Chains A and B, each alone.
Chain A
Amino acid sequence: MKARKFTEKGLGEFRDFLAASRKTKVLPTMEFLHDDKYSTEIDITLPSIHAPKNLLKKSDLVQYLVGAEEISGEKFNLRCPYEMSWISAFLLENIIEKDAAGSCKIHSDVHYILDYKNARRRYRHRISSALQIFHEVPEIAHPIWFTRNSYVHGEMVEQSMGRLYMLRVPSVAGAIRKLYFNEKEQVLHPRIFSKVPRKGDLRNRFPVKVKQLLETYDIYSCDCDRLIELLGKEFKIN
């Protein structure tokens, strides 16, 4: 089945659908999803007309989407609100948090409807940010982002994707994995996103030090061990 992209009218329907579901906390069938009045086909083939319901982790989510890209020989347009929002609608069950009783928790629209023109909000889109990380961040660092549940936005996305200058340095992603990722448990270390700056934390100190280094050292050509060395003593591999 071909993936689709919403028309302006379809995007409006999806927005209304989210607003209604936010109140009722249930996800009814999206009658408009495959309707030609609300969306048109794009050149990417999905495995089935039925969306999978078992994309539990972000890694499952990106594998599903990248698989579709590979079969089709085309990539999703991560800047297109109509395309990204349709994919969100198609995979909505996977990216919505549900409690034990099955009630859905629907966050603000930016998590499902791509607001590309807003640099402060666009990375909150579940699908677009996950795919961007997959395609643009070195593979060595993927576990930092992709071990979380599909429905989680997460501080890691929030703090990293809002600082593109930092992630553009090729060795930064690997250094983050070495410094802050517990390989055994496959989770990030606790307290690294504290609002109050702490020695060697990821939210405050790491970006400041990277920015300082960008001014003085050519850290674009460093490997991650050299970068960690340059960051200074407060950054230790645990």
Chain B
Amino acid sequence: MKKTINFTGRIKIDAKSLRAVVDGQTNSLSDVEIAEDCLNKFSADARIFIDSETSGSLSSSRIDLGCIQDFQGGQTFKIEGGLENWDTLTIKIVEDSGKILGRGRFRPIGKGGAETESLLSFRIKDLGSIPWKLEFYPTLSLYVNSRIPEGRNFFQTHPLIMAIILPEVVRSIYRHIYFFSEVDFTEDGTWVSDWMGLAAAYNGNEEIPERSAPEEEIKIWIEGLVEDFSSSHQFVEDILGVKEANEG
């Protein structure tokens, strides 16, 4: 195993191993499940916590799920302060000394929340030999080559296609916003402000770099965002699923 200078042995808990349903109307988290093979990686007396933070707020909520040996899936928990649309939950496995043994972030399955709108329009266009292309003017659109039959539907729903293109789409969009676009982040009604809102939701709303920040810092931030986005959508798992299905 490759170890860095700050190696602590902490295990990253994959979003695939976690599941919970959030009900925005009753402020509760139900059907909390953690994969057994994930829990088996830790000592039985370590404690499980789920932390929730709300964008733009100083408040945080914590649910104590008890020790690993006593954990039972499917429970329902009430959350103080409520959960908003884009909230991400952090699970921590903690030993007695306070050391974090494992950590992972995941987005709960929502119900009863506000309706969401797609931030990206898929359109059809003759792109010659190029399968797909992002265009930023007059508005943000992902064009799919018109030679691909049912191309728009295929790109929007096929797990393998989505897993392969969407991380690069997200990366390209934020690189465009920071390095090419001059649209004000905060100008209402623009696709730029919508995507910056999405970025804020992924990182707790306080660490969006200014355009004037060093280029390297912005690139690192974008990569972190792409990682969070990919992890929450479980793209690698989707690819593995398609691969297994093809091989089986």
Q: A-side interface residues toward B, CB under 8 Å? A: 79, 115-120, 122, 132-133, 136-137, 162-165, 167-170, 215-222, 226
List the 10 shortest-distance A-B pairs measured between CB atoms, nearest first.
Answer: A136-B58, A218-B94, A164-B206, A168-B60, A118-B186, A217-B98, A218-B98, A119-B205, A167-B58, A216-B8
- State the Cβ distance, B160 to closest chain A Cβ, in Å: 33
Say whether B59 contacts A136, CB under 8 Å: yes
Say whether B204 contacts A117, CB under 8 Å: no
Say whether B206 contacts A119, CB under 8 Å: yes
CB neighbors of A among B182-214 (8 A) = 185-186, 188, 193, 197, 200, 204-208, 210
Say whether B10 contacts A216, CB under 8 Å: yes
- State the Cβ distance, B19 to closest chain A Cβ, in Å: 22
- State the Cβ distance, A211 to closest chain B Cβ, in Å: 10
Q: A119-B208, A168-B53 are contacts. A220–B62 as well, Cβ < 8 Å?
A: yes
Say whether A136 contacts B99, CB under 8 Å: no
With a CB–CB cut-off of 8 A, which chain B residues contact A219? 98
Q: Which of B6, B8, B58, B188 contacts A164 (CB 8 A)?
A: B58
Number of A-B contacts (CB under 8 A): 70
With a CB–CB cut-off of 8 A, which chain A residues contact B186? 115, 117-118
- State the Cβ distance, B49 to closest chain A Cβ, in Å: 7
Q: Does B57 contact A (CB under 8 A)?
A: yes
Q: Does B92 contact A (CB under 8 A)?
A: yes
Measured between alpha carbons, how far is A122 from B57 in the docked complex, in Å? 12
Q: In chain B, what residue has the closest Cβ to A164?
A: B206
Q: Which of B53, B100, B207 contacts A216 (CB 8 A)?
A: B100
- State the Cβ distance, A7 to closest chain B Cβ, in Å: 17
Tally chain B residues at the interface, Cβ within 8 Å.
29
Measured between alpha carbons, how far is A167 from B49 in the docked complex, in Å? 19
Q: Does B51 contact A (CB under 8 A)?
A: yes
Q: In chain B, what residue has the closest Cβ to A160?
A: B58
Q: Does B248 contact A (CB under 8 A)?
A: no
Measured between alpha carbons, how far is A162 from B6 in the docked complex, in Å? 26
Say whether A221 contacts B206, CB under 8 Å: no
Q: Does B56 contact A (CB under 8 A)?
A: yes
With a CB–CB cut-off of 8 A, which chain A residues contact B53? 164-165, 168
Hey, what's the 0/1 contact readout for B87-118 against A, CB within 8 Å counting as 1? 00000101000111000000000000000000
- State the Cβ distance, B35 to closest chain A Cβ, in Å: 21
Q: A79-B56, A136-B58 are contacts. A218–B49 as well, Cβ < 8 Å?
A: yes
Q: Which of A117, A120, A136, A222 contacts B57 (CB 8 A)?
A: A136
Q: Which of A137, A167, A216, A220 contacts B99 (CB 8 A)?
A: A216
- State the Cβ distance, A109 to closest chain B Cβ, in Å: 13
Q: A119-B200, A215-B100 are contacts. A165–B206 as well, Cβ < 8 Å?
A: yes
